[in-house]
């Protein structure tokens, strides 16, 4: 499953081509903002995949694999990891105060996850 691949390389997956992407780029055209997944450079040319208009719907799509047939096929851990990766991509563009706050939220989340893991290992 594509989500497992993303977890392995530690990058979120592009919903268009299923390859991991390095970041999300925003482009403004006629006052509307559009999102593109950035895949790095091929020679000198940057490679982008068009994701869609910058609304919350797109972000949900970026986190969930599009090729799933039912909810049972979803790798929940990969989804969780991709969601956190995407969160980090978005927070990286904000101010230092917001970044500090986001880092604290992630640490608390990590502690909660660790508690669940320790409980399962018992």
Judged by beta carbon, residue 23 or residue 99, the one nearer Zn ion is 23
Point out which residues bind Zn ion (CB under 5 A): 14, 16-17, 37, 49
Q: With the C-alpha atoms ordered 17, 20, 26, 27, is the resulting torsion angle positive or negative?
A: negative
Judged by beta carbon, residue 49 or residue 80, the one nearer Zn ion is 49
The CB-of-28 to Zn ion minimum distance in angstroms stands at 20
Judged by beta carbon, residue 90 or residue 105, the one nearer Zn ion is 90
Judged by beta carbon, residue 16 or residue 59, the one nearer Zn ion is 16
The CB-of-47 to Zn ion minimum distance in angstroms stands at 8
User: Residue 67 and residue 75: Cα distance in Å, rounded?
Assistant: 12
User: Residue 78 and residue 65: Cα distance in Å, rounded?
Assistant: 9
The CB-of-6 to Zn ion minimum distance in angstroms stands at 12
The CB-of-17 to Zn ion minimum distance in angstroms stands at 3
Looking at the chain, list the stretches that DSSP marks H as alpha helix, in order from N- to C-terminal side: 2-9, 56-63, 76-91, 96-121
Q: Find all residues with CB under 8 Å of 100, minimum gap 6, and list them.
A: none
User: Residue 72 and residue 114: Cα distance in Å, rounded?
Assistant: 24
């Amino acid at each position: 499953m594509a989500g497992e691949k993303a977890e392995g390389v530690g990058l979120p997956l592009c919903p268009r081509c299923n390859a991991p992407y390095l970041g999300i780029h925003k482009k403004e055209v006629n006052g509307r903002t559009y999102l593109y997944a950035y895949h790095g450079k091929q020679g000198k040319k940057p490679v982008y995949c068009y994701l869609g208009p910058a609304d919350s719907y797109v972000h949900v799509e970026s986190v969930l694999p599009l090729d799933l047939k039912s909810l049972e096929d979803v790798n929940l851990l990969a989804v969780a990891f991709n969601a956190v990766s995407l969160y980090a991509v978005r927070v990286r563009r904000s101010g230092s105060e917001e970044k500090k706050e986001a880092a604290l939220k992630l640490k608390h989340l990590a502690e909660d996850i660790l508690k669940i893991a320790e409980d399962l290992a018992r």
